[in-house]
Amino acid sequence: MAVETDCLFCKIVAKEIPAEIVHETDRTLAFRDINPQAPTHVLVITKGHHADAGAVADADEGLADEMLKAARTIARKEGVAEEGYRLVFNTGAAAGQTVFHAHLHVLGGRDLRWPPG
C-alpha cells in the first residue's frame, strides 16, 4: 500500500493525526470532516495513497466500489440513507480538490440544492 510521508490523509491512516473515525475496512477509512458543509459530512478515503478519483479507478479492481459501499454504510449509520445524501469526488484543483489523496464526501442531513456551487 503506497503512502506519502507528507500527505495529511496518509497521516490520518497511520494514526499520526487524530480524526473522528466512523467506519473502517481493510482498504478504506472514513472520518468526519473538520469543516462540515452539512450535518452529516464524512470523508471516505483509501488507505493506500491515490491522488484522486481517476487514480482510484486506475489503481485496482474493486477499490472504487469499496469506497461507494463504505459511503452507503455510513449513510445508513448516520440516518440519511432514506431521505437522501450526496456523494462528491473533487478531482483536481480546478474542481476544488485541496488534499491530493482520493476522498469521497458523504453529505446529508439538510436539503442539498443543485447546482452545488
Q: Is 103 a catalytic residue?
A: yes
Residue tagged active-site, from 41, 50, 101, 103:
103
**Helix (H) or strand (E) segment spanning residue 68:** helix 63-78
| Backbone φ and ψ of 66, nearest 5° | -65, -35
Q: Give me the amino acid identity at 93.
A: A
| Cα separation, 36 vs 63, whole angstroms | 25
Residue with cell 450526496: 86
Residues acting as catalytic residues: 103
